[in-house]
Structure 1
Amino acid sequence: MEAISLYPGSAGEIIQGKVDGRDILISCPVNMFTRVRVYECDNPEKRFQHIKSSTLLENMLNRWGYGHLNSTFDIEIESNIPLGKGFASSTADLCATYICLLKLFYRNFDIYEVLKEFLRIEPTDSIIFREMTMFDYKSGSFYKGVGEYIKFYILAFEGERTIDTVTFNKSKLPSLDDISDLYTKVQEGITNKNISLIAAASTESINRNLKRVSYDVLGHVDALKDITGGLGIIGAHSGDMLGIIYDDKKKLEFALQYRDSIKGYKSHVLETLRRNEYERNYDYIAVERKR
């Protein structure tokens, strides 16, 4: 008895801040993946290398009345999503683990248990939704669909620092700025398929969060954006990653000559995933939008 699932990460957040007094974020899935295998065995050992996924497995079995089976399941995880850098690796692991359990126990995806059980473990990224969603990532008490995921390209730069999401969000941080204007801009960009508006909002969101998290190479990335025809900057609001947004794959390909130009930073060539892509090509199951 076993199940396997793939789930994508994200490239930081498009925007993060306060809207109507709530701490929210909006993000997109990208073509980095975690592969999770949950299977029966007599002596589970590998799962304890993955504490968050192991905790979710135990909590879900208890929730569903199968707690007595906890010691009979192990977890294997293979991933090309960098850990602790802002690519939503933990959210991807939790989602893939959860989907494996749905398959094993013939259950349906339930948004309420997803939000409750994931947030018991850590703040969660909005890639759990099937469309771009404004999401209260700390309490899960609010989410609002913005529109279908939209295609754009990213040259991302990953730094050496590792940031633990749980520790970061529990630390004494400056309050997030109001980004109601940026949310409106993203909403308009999604409606009109205008990547420039989305990129402008993302860039400003990074600038407004500098008091919470610093980026040593922001100036360098901004200069590369201008040289290569990028539209804006996207980044991790609790991680060490910045990326340049492109609406044209040829511009991204031109930018690749600069991919090794930032010393100490690893580069990633990424693209966002639209719903038809991840549902057709990757065993990606996420929450349906509910009003």
Structure 2
Amino acid sequence: MALARCPASCGEIIQGWILGSEKLVSCPVDWFSEVEVTAGSPLPDERPLTRAMVDRVLAHWQLPGELSREVRIDCRSDIPVAKGMASSTADIAATAVATSRHFGFSLDDATLAQLCVSLEPTDSTLFRALTLFDHNTAHTALPCPGLPEMDILLLESPVTLRTADYHRLPRRQALIASAQALECAWQKVQQACRQNQPSLLGEAALQSAVASQALLPKPGFHALLALVERHGLYGLNVAHSGSVVGLFLDRQRHDVEKIRHQLNRSSLRQHWPAHHLLRLVEGGVRES
């Protein structure tokens, strides 16, 4: 038996055309998918991508494919699906690590990333540090040392969008048009991590969120900006290929209940009816 868990992401801190291609820095939060791999028969309601990952792991370690029929996958996760919270990445990354451990092997981060992108575009939550990641090829993975101490009020929308559908949108021209802004945002992310400056991380995320409006606009965006300004929050980020939004703040400094009250009393309530107070955490798959 082997157990592993991987965090969700509140969208992306930044995503766009950086260093010659589309890349992202995910925003890992304390909401996890936990996967247990044991000997046994497959469950009838298992998630298809987790089974696909078991098969990829067996092939990677040059183990017989028939062993897949002797592996049971228990995936325990209540991360909202198809909203830009890296639910699939959390599932398959935890599955890869747990499956490898079940058979007596250990995966390094680079191999784990390659296995994940072989199934679908992948979030950088599988790395411990905030990481600039080529989510389509895994050819780039640039970590940022340090992690700003920060809370996030995640605004959940009822709207769903599959990552694969987002990637079918014609994006290249708009991505390249905002390349300069994203390069600036990437520099701010690195500085924010080095200096533990959540406000600078918020600035970077806001720059990327503004650029994302040309690709996947969020309803009530200007009202959200006004809310950030009114309460002196660090900034906001968005799911660039999903529907969630994150308000960057400090629960000790900012009045979270007042912010929630104003959200519920405004027109924003129809777009963001559910709110979750979370912490920015280290990424990476945790083994048990």
Fold match by TM threshold 0.5: yes
Question: What per-residue deviation string (whole Å, max 9, x for no partner) do you get for residues 144-165 of structure 1?
Answer: 1121232211111111211111
Asked if residue 284 in structure 1 is aligned to residue 286 in structure 2, the reply is yes
Structure 1 segments (4+ residues) deviating >6 Å: none
Structure 1 CA distance for aligned equivalents of residues 110 and 281 of structure 2: 24
Given the alignment of the two structures, is residue 129 of structure 1 paired with residue 112 of structure 2, yes or no? no
Structure 1 position 20, deviation (Å)? 2.2
TM normalised by structure 2 equals 0.89
Q: Give the drift of 1:259.
A: 5.1
Contact map agreement 2:42 2:73 (CA 8 A) in 1: no
1:196, 1:250 → 2: CA distance? Answer: 13
1:23 aligns with 2:22: yes
Kindly indicate whether the alpha-carbon contact (under 8 Å) linking 2:38 and 2:71 is maintained by their aligned counterparts in 1: yes
- SS of match in other structure, 2:117: helix
Larger deviation: 128-137 or 162-171? 162-171
Query: Hey, what does 1:263 align to over in structure 2?
Result: 270
Residue number among 262, 280, 284 corresponding to 1:272 in the alignment: 280
Count residues in correspondence. 276
Shift of 1:260: 3.4
| Equivalent position of 1:288 in the other structure | none
- Which of 83, 87, 91 pairs up with 2:85? 87
Q: CA deviation at 1:86?
A: 0.8
How far 1:6 sits from its partner (Å)?
A: 2.0
Which residue of structure 1 aligns with residue 52 of structure 2?
Answer: 55
1:206 aligns with one of 198, 204, 209: 209
Structure 1 distance, partners of 2:43, 2:2, is 15
Go from structure 1 to structure 2 and tell me whether the alpha carbon gap of 1:215 and 1:74 turns closer, same or farther (over 3 Å shift). Answer: same
Equivalent pairs: percent with the same residue? 26
TM-score (normalizing by structure 1): 0.88
Q: Partner of 1:219 in structure 2?
A: 222
Superposed counterparts of 1:43-192, under 5 Å: 44-47=43-46, 50-64=47-61, 65-175=63-173, 176=175, 177-178=178-179, 179-192=182-195
Contact (CA 8 Å) 1:155, 1:259: kept in 2 or not?
no
Matched to 1:225, the amino acid is: V
Aligned partner of 1:8 in structure 2 is 7
TM-superposed CA distance for 1:223, in Å, is: 2.4
Structure 2 contact 129–143 (Cα < 8 Å) conserved: yes
* 8 Å contact from structure 1 (residues 59, 117) kept in 2: yes
For residues 98 and 20 of structure 2, the distance between their equivalents in structure 1, rounded to whole angstroms, comes to: 36
| AA at the equivalent of 1:273 | V
Q: State the shift of 1:135 in Å.
A: 1.0
SS in 1 for 2:12: coil
Deviation at 1:77, TM superposition (A): 1.6
Q: Which runs of 5+ in 2 are unaligned?
A: none
Question: For structure 1, which runs of at least 5 residues remain unmatched after alignment?
Answer: 286-291
Q: Is the 8 A contact 1:46 1:75 kept in 2?
A: no
Change (3 A) 1:252 1:10: farther
Aligned residues of 1:84 and 1:162 also touching (Cα < 8 A): yes
Give, as a single letter, the amino acid of the residue that structure 2 aligns with 1:19: I
Q: Deviations over 1:217-263 (max 9, x none)?
A: 21232222223331211110000011211145341534343453412
| Residue-by-residue CA offset, 1:252-289 (whole Å, 9 max, x unaligned) | 534343453412421111111147xx8xxxx715xxxx
C-alpha spacing 1:42/1:131, structure 2 compared with 1 (3 Å) = closer
Once residues 252 and 36 of structure 1 are traced to their aligned partners in structure 2, the CA distance between those partners, rounded to angstroms, is 36
SS at match of 2:189: helix
Which secondary structure state, in structure 2, belongs to the residue aligned with residue 172 of structure 1?
A: coil
Cα gap change, 1:224 to 1:3, in 2 (>3 Å): same
Q: Distance in 2 between matches of 1:17 and 1:99?
A: 29
- Write the distance in 1 (CA, Å) between the matches of 2:140 and 2:159: 31
- Alignment of 1:196 onto 2:199: yes
CA gap 1:186/1:46 in 2 versus in 1, 3 angstroms: same
